[in-house]
Amino acid sequence: MELSSVPIQPNKNRSNTPTLVFRDIPGLEPYSHTSFFQATHEHQHQWPNRWLGGSSFACVSMVEKREEPEFFPTTAQLLKHPSAMPALLPRDAALFAAGAVSGAASKTITAPLDRIKLLMQTHGLRAGQEAAKKGIGFIEAFTMIGKQEGIKGYWKGNLPQVIRVIPYSAVQLFAYETYKKLLRGKDGELSVIERLTAGAFAGMTSTFVTYPLDVLRLRLAVEPGYKTMSEVALNMLREEGVGSFYTGLGPSLIAIAPYIAVNFCIFDLMKKSLPEKYRKRTETSMVTALLSATLSTVMCFPLDTMRRQMQMKGTPYKTVLDAFSGIVARDGLIGLYRGFVPNALKTLPNSSIRLTSFDTVKHLIAASEEEFQRIVEENREKHKQSTGDSTD
């Protein structure tokens, strides 16, 4: 039997089955069975008579699953089953949008707490040596913003933060999944160390990409006289140069790596340890996110304080060690945790809103894909029935 053009037929019920096809290659001189297999006696008996009928070439083609267009849901079916519509979008695009929207919503809701935290963190550097010893409390910072800037002052600097969080969330989540795939073992599982590593690199990747926006947001939030992000950016370029947009990047990477590593790792492991019936519940995501955010915040907040003070205009700190010794000398150890309360109040709901929203949207996407596939299968069965009836 000549196998130069004999395909192994795929399963008719599936469109993503690997296909083995043999094709003749023009100009390829056939090897004789003796010369080709003389080195391996076993192969001489096993392959020539079964597969190689001369100058044949074998190719295994792996294609991603694609449904036949004729079985796609019609407009009427989609209108009748609107939950299947999100499945029309590429999955990566849907997840990107989910991360962006959840991040923007959580940042906007918690913006007042973030503004208060920033003022408390940078008070020592802005107020001077004597005034810094007294510090500034949560209530005092809250009242000061209201008196000096009004209700809009609580959301000052939120726009660049929202602009920043959209690519930040997208890059971070995509990078986390990518690093997990690279680190995953042959069994498909990830150890705790591998999860921590994936989270750390994901945090550093997203921070590096969006760091200039973070600096602009800080300057706009704590330095008087600026009204727009473009005004801050132009002034920084004119007076401090391009390098000012990356001032404090080192401690930022050091601060974000353990925070994201611990946060993501705890969240994943806690969700994985729960029974299957509890994993998809909204309240489960909220509680898990609260616990993981609390632990990671307590561990990493001092690094965040040092990073913020290194980002300030006219900062005397050049390295993390300079910032640590300077803050401790001026404010004591408590200075490393100034702004911790509003940060915790901001981080806990922020993390809960973001991760819970993202988990919820992922479940909706999965449900949409199932509904879409159900309609496709119904259309396929109807097509088979109509074909069978016409044949009869």
pLDDT in tens for each of the 392 residues of the chain?
333 333 434 444 444 445 555 555 555 555 444 444 454 444 444 444 444 444 445 555 444 444 456 678 888 888 888 888 888 888 777 777 777 787 888 888 888 888 887 787 776 665 554 455 556 777 888 888 888 888 888 888 788 778 778 888 878 877 887 898 899 877 888 999 999 999 999 999 988 888 888 888 778 777 767 777 788 888 888 888 888 888 888 878 877 888 889 888 888 898 888 888 888 787 888 888 888 888 888 888 888 888 778 877 778 888 888 888 888 888 888 888 888 877 787 777 777 777 777 777 778 888 888 888 888 888 888 888 877 766 65
Site of tokens 């690094």: 303
- What residue numbers bound the domain in which 38 lies? 1-75
Q: Which residues contact 376 (CB under 8 A, 6 or more apart)?
A: 67, 71, 72, 73
Does a structural domain hold residue 375?
Answer: no
Shared domain for 174 and 67, answered yes or no, is no
Q: Is residue 380 part of a domain?
A: no
Q: In terms of domains, do 180 and 46 share one?
A: no
List Cβ<8 Å contacts ≥24 apart for 11-17.
14/65, 15/65, 15/66, 15/67, 15/68, 16/63, 16/64, 16/65, 16/66
* Distant-in-sequence, close-in-space partners of 290: CB < 8 Å, separation ≥ 6: 348, 351, 352
The H or E element containing residue 183 is: helix 158-183
Cα 312 to the chain's mean position, in Å? Answer: 28
Given 75, 99, 118, the domain boundary residue is 75
Return d(Cα 286, Cα 348) in angstroms, integer: 9
Q: Are residues 66 and 90 in the same domain?
A: no
Count how many domains the chain has: 2
Q: Quickly list DSSP for 28-44.
A: PPPPPHHHHHTT-HHHH
Task: Say if residue 105 is in the same domain as residue 177.
Answer: yes
In this structure, are 195 and 116 located in the same domain?
Answer: yes
pLDDT of 201: 94
Pair 341, 124: CB distance under 8 Å? no
288 exposed, middle or buried (CB, 10 Å; 0-12, 13-18, 19+)? Answer: buried
Q: In degrees, to the nearest 5, what angle opens at C-alpha 368 toward C-alphas 367 and 369?
A: 90
Residues 169 and 273 in one domain: yes
Same domain, 58 and 101: no
Nearest alpha carbon to residue 213 among 289, 136, 161, 290: 161
3-state secondary structure of 46: helix
Per-residue three-class SS string for 223-281: CCCCCCHHHHHHHHHHHCCHHHHHCCHHHHHHHHHHHHHHHHHHHHHHHHHCCHHHHCC
- Choose one of 56, 75, 94: the last residue of a domain: 75
Q: Are residues 198 and 329 in the same domain?
A: yes
Distance CA 380, CA 225 (A): 65
Asked if the structure places residue 390 within a domain, the reply is no
Query: Do 155 and 275 belong together in one domain?
Result: yes
Q: Is residue 376 part of a domain?
A: no
Q: How far apart are CA 131 and CA 115, in angstroms?
A: 20
Residue 298 lies in a domain: yes
- CB contact at 8 A, 190 and 181: no
Distance between CA atoms of residues 124 and 139, nearest Å: 17
Query: Does residue 208 belong to any structural domain of this protein?
Result: yes
What is the chain's length? 392
Residue 387 maps to a domain = no
Q: Which of 52, 75, 98 is the last residue of a domain?
A: 75
Judgement on whether residues 50 and 192 belong to the same structural domain of the protein: no
Same domain, yes or no: 111 and 32: no
**Any idea what the CATH number is for the domain that residue 154 is in?**
1.50.40.10
Q: Do 146 and 292 fall into the same domain?
A: yes
27 Rama class: left (phi>0) / alpha (psi -120 to 50) / beta: left
Domain for residue 354, yes or no?
Answer: yes
